[in-house]
Structure 1
Amino acid sequence: MRIIAVLALGLAAATPAFAAERTGFHAIAAGNFPMAERQINAAMRAAPERPELMLNLAAVYLQTGRAVEARRLYAAVLDRPAVAMDMPSGAVISSHDVAQRGLQRLPNQDVASR
């Protein structure tokens, strides 16, 4: 199982996954989103399908005003099989649950057009 931790980053909190520094978790926790993005992108070059990386990058995108990109990553996690992730509290949550929660934090998308 993969380990994640819920991290509150203001009102639009995302749920970054925690495994090691290569996931960008510590940089996200410190509010250093540029560093987190660099770390995550480097890790994704070796393992682009890892849901914890996609979820953390989505969290960075959400915190830096890139809702479209965050939505794309959350959807990509949902398109793959769910992965069980251990929470530091001992709870287990699926990658799909984390992605759904992230989607709920995104600004509403305008669906009506003229």
Structure 2
Amino acid sequence: MRSKLMLSALALGVVAAMPALAKDRVGYQAIAAGSLTTAEQTITAERAIFPDRPELMLNLAAVYARTGRQAQARALYADVLGREAVAMDMADGSVRTSHELARTGLTRLTTAMATR
């Protein structure tokens, strides 16, 4: 099973141009633009409909991490790791699993905490 995913380039280090979407339902464009409040609102609304979509959990975790809510980010990354791994198409054309991305997010949280 492969999920289309647009994760924040800033949150997970994915560097690529992403074509504009008619409707940004996963918060990617808002995160990339630095509009974290808008991203959180978009993702939260989508999670009310699709609570188990890993791309929503990962993007919301990235928003939480960037807004100082490390405990919430860790909980979402752990939730992703507790589910079946899903292959995801990244903005740069690569394919990574939801588990790889969650582990990357957790590593970044740990690194950020260590440098404070």
1:41 aligns with 2:39: no
| Matching residue of 1:50 | 53
The structure with the largest helix share of the pair is: 2
Determine what percentage of the aligned residue pairs are the same residue: 50
1:41-80 → structure 2 map (5 Å cutoff): 41-80=44-83
CA distance, structure 1, for counterparts of residue 60 and residue 7 of structure 2: 14
CA distance, structure 1, for counterparts of residue 8 and residue 48 of structure 2: 25
Q: Which has the higher contact order (CA 8 A, sep 6+)?
A: 2
Code of the residue aligned with 1:56 in structure 2: it is N
RMSD of equivalent CA atoms? 2.4
TM-score by length of 1: 0.81
TM-score by length of 2: 0.80
CA distance, structure 1, for counterparts of residue 3 and residue 100 of structure 2: 14
CA distance, structure 1, for counterparts of residue 102 and residue 13 of structure 2: 8
Change (3 A) 1:105 1:72: same
Instruction: Provide structure 1 residue ranges, at least 5 long, that are not aligned to the other structure.
Output: none
Alignment length, in residue pairs? Answer: 106
Match of 1:27 among 26, 30, 33: 30
CA distance, structure 1, for counterparts of residue 7 and residue 76 of structure 2: 18
Change (3 A) 1:94 1:3: same
| Matching residue of 2:5 | 4
